[in-house]
Structure 1
């Protein structure tokens, strides 16, 4: 249940049963992890589930040289932006951090994270703040990795996300952010794993919800018995899900029975992209559609444009761009994703999209085979950002660069490089709520040659 009951009743206890003092504090801000920030006796304290403006009662659980950490006991004066968390597991499960904050304020928090990072780290400010993008805020996750562990004291398997700041697994009975039908399969999955002979050797289950099917990838550390195999197959039939086994690395993932390829559709571009259940795809499908639309709009493509898409994955941006541009070159570090991108281009009849494999984190790229002159560049790097590839972007001659980011700190660093070293202006930036109810900040930044 929720760990932050709201009440105005004053505390009449100075210490808990364990002897730890109870203290009151006024929350002044949210940290980048979504924790309440207070200043007590000149020291910063981070308190989970507390919101700016609130007066809270809390206990100190960890002391550090630069800051302390606290546990919220009671909200004495609640923020007007506080809402009742929808999930009964909120406060324990590490899957969400902000369900107690209104969705409008979640967007404002993320926009502030973005602009503060750009100013503080990159020493840049956007000329325009883009309106935030937001799709459905519940049951949006089509990709997830669930942990599993058999607990002898409970005589059953716990399946769920990790708890906050602990190695334990939250005993989930449902999930408000997973896409159907997986949101209600957690208890059946627990029962399934408990019934297996290798229940102690099955650490995780990956989820992939496509437009046409649902896949579960079961990590197994020991061979299955015939009875185990039948149980897994029966589960797949009863719940209409594809069952995959993963005995080793990702190259060992294989379906238990013949399956149809997973796919998602981009209707505005008349595209269908196929993917494997362990491939990287954007977690929030409806938001992904909006994000692609925004990318095409901001790049203002013409049939004469030659576009470079770095960190292209299986073609999520490359193929829509190819519908509008003259030529698109996609580059990705994972060879299997490049194969998927090429196959998706052929399947969708796009002859103007080429794909190459390259390590884009190598700062000695030099003059790659896929280099040359480009009119526009799209970057969609991992959390570490795109620092190593920025010299290639600058040498491409592109007058427009669109940077899709999943971490405001690395975006801000790279924005500073593009502006202060390579002569671009930060024309616009804004957030896209890829992960509602979490502190994750997805954003887009548009750079134009000065």
Structure 2
């Protein structure tokens, strides 16, 4: 006989104290730490505990006793439901304070290395409509809030289709989105029009459980060159689906001439990833261009590009500044005298005599080569490495269309490609720029970086926690000289951070 689970407690008149990690806020009840989402410091609330641990618990608000004077009205009608934004009820200035503190706390508590005074966080140029990419799922069953379920007429069916965002814990249901404020409003008009057309024409929506249904996923991208891309994922499983899909594509092309790249795919896989699928261009080109300073970057449907275009420019300016400002090649020569004869031979073979005083730069996790091409004109050579082969091809194209001939790119797993032999073959780097995924760098990558002994390392991170771990691994040979947090995603708890490391003498 199973033991009856004890009911979780309800805490009343709980004062919310401060912003915590993952977009939640923190309070204390007796000796228990309580994390609560969608509140702001100064709120007084009654909360229902949803998860209880030995030293902390998680809870949700059941009643606002008193609302904080800090609180502002969220702009979005979907706030608190779709899961995208956590902080629309918190003034942007307070969001920036919380992110600055988050970076400081993680580098201090996890890294435990000596740190300089941090530069103030760079706030986003745009607080709304800042994203250049959004994806929307399509499903034959929508997700309802408790209030919506309560208001449904008796006997009403629950199998209404939807286009919108996945809800955590309901993988087969989509919460319908009418208006998202994070991207130019054209994406709202395109999404809502496709939904209306699909319903009116009797088009089937995808059922994740049974893996049937035609309309599966939408991905929209736009760029600062004024171009728009739409990728529609279909799932053909009935006679005539091909014609129905092309009828929708014709409708979209006629209704939205702003879309310069209209692409589709028949995805028969169990997930929505398209990296291994052949995409078909229905109208226009299979790419759009982003512009940064005097450079053009080709962005395809599989390409990675920073999601906040304007703020990406400021992020890359910080990375370039940390890499090059005050860099004295003559002071690096003292280090380079310790190179092996093979290293020195490679250095001389690859260096143009006219640019001998410029640094050799490695750009790790280069993506489509944005940072590599951004710094190339200040370098003797830039060597880029990236896991995704398609991204490397884009990186080469981006160098070619910008007339940059001092970059080389390699595709493969970083821990396998970046070896001591690779360093001997390509030359010992003066500067390494690394922009790893959220998991940070593999220990083998850190080891090779330490063996390569560059003069400087510029570490760009989307996860200061794993960045702090890696800084601790580098600390014996490198000290942290500068720290610059950058906000790329207003109204979310995510923050980028750039660290400059200098080799100890």
Q: TM-score, structure 2 length as denominator?
A: 0.79
Aligned-partner SS, 1:317: helix
Superimposed CA distance per residue, residues 322-376 of structure 1 (whole angstroms, 9 cap, x where no aligned partner): 0222211111111111111111111111011111113114498443266431111
Closer, same or farther: CA 226–184 of 1 in aligned 2, 3 Å: closer
Superimposed CA distance per residue, residues 144-175 of structure 1 (whole angstroms, 9 cap, x where no aligned partner): 22111123836653122223555442221010
Counterpart of 1:160? Answer: 164
1:199 maps to 2:205: yes
What CA distance in whole angstroms lies between the structure 1 residues aligned with 2:402 and 2:436?
A: 25
Superimposed CA distance per residue, residues 393-415 of structure 1 (whole angstroms, 9 cap, x where no aligned partner): 22223111111101111101011
- 1:106 pairs, out of 68, 71, 95, with 95
Q: Cα distance, 1:96 vs. partner?
A: 0.7
Over the residues paired in the alignment, what is the CA RMSD in angstroms? 2.4
Counterpart of 2:381? Answer: 327
Q: Cα distance, 1:20 vs. partner?
A: 7.8
Closer, same or farther: CA 206–441 of 1 in aligned 2, 3 Å: same
Closer, same or farther: CA 62–397 of 1 in aligned 2, 3 Å: closer
Counterpart of 1:348? Answer: 402
Counterpart of 2:230? Answer: 216
User: Comparing 40-49 with 68-77, which one deviates more in the overlay?
Assistant: 68-77
What CA distance in whole angstroms lies between the structure 1 residues aligned with 2:281 and 2:297?
A: 23
User: Comparing 59-68 with 350-359, which one deviates more in the overlay?
Assistant: 59-68
Aligned-partner SS, 2:166: coil
Aligned-partner SS, 1:411: helix
Counterpart of 1:439? Answer: 493
User: Comparing 378-387 with 143-152, which one deviates more in the overlay?
Assistant: 143-152
Contact residue 313 and residue 337 of structure 1 kept, 8 A: yes
Counterpart of 2:264? Answer: 245
Counterpart of 2:435? Answer: 380
Q: Cα distance, 1:24 vs. partner?
A: 1.8
Counterpart of 2:70? Answer: 81
What CA distance in whole angstroms lies between the structure 1 residues aligned with 2:291 and 2:115?
A: 29
Counterpart of 2:147? Answer: none
What CA distance in whole angstroms lies between the structure 1 residues aligned with 2:205 and 2:262?
A: 16
User: Comparing 293-302 with 279-288, which one deviates more in the overlay?
Assistant: 293-302
Contact residue 262 and residue 283 of structure 2 kept, 8 A: no
Closer, same or farther: CA 300–79 of 1 in aligned 2, 3 Å: farther
Unaligned runs of 5+ in 2: 1-6, 143-156, 207-212, 268-273, 328-354
What CA distance in whole angstroms lies between the structure 2 residues aligned with 1:90 and 1:282?
A: 24
Counterpart of 1:142? Answer: 132
Counterpart of 1:259? Answer: 284
1:308 maps to 2:368: no
Q: Cα distance, 1:203 vs. partner?
A: 3.2
Counterpart of 1:10? Answer: none
Of Structure 1 and Structure 2, which has the larger fraction of its residues in helix?
A: 2
Q: Cα distance, 1:262 vs. partner?
A: 2.8
Aligned-partner SS, 1:182: helix
- 1:228 pairs, out of 232, 245, 250, with 245
What CA distance in whole angstroms lies between the structure 2 residues aligned with 1:166 and 1:431?
A: 34
Aligned-partner SS, 2:50: strand
Q: Cα distance, 1:91 vs. partner?
A: 0.9
Closer, same or farther: CA 246–403 of 1 in aligned 2, 3 Å: same
User: Comparing 205-214 with 273-282, which one deviates more in the overlay?
Assistant: 205-214
Task: For 1:56-75, list aligned pairs within 5 A.
Answer: 56-75=45-64
- 1:405 pairs, out of 461, 466, 470, with 461
Counterpart of 2:480? Answer: 426
Q: TM-score, structure 1 length as denominator?
A: 0.88
Counterpart of 1:297? Answer: 321
Unaligned runs of 5+ in 1: 1-17
1:96 maps to 2:85: yes
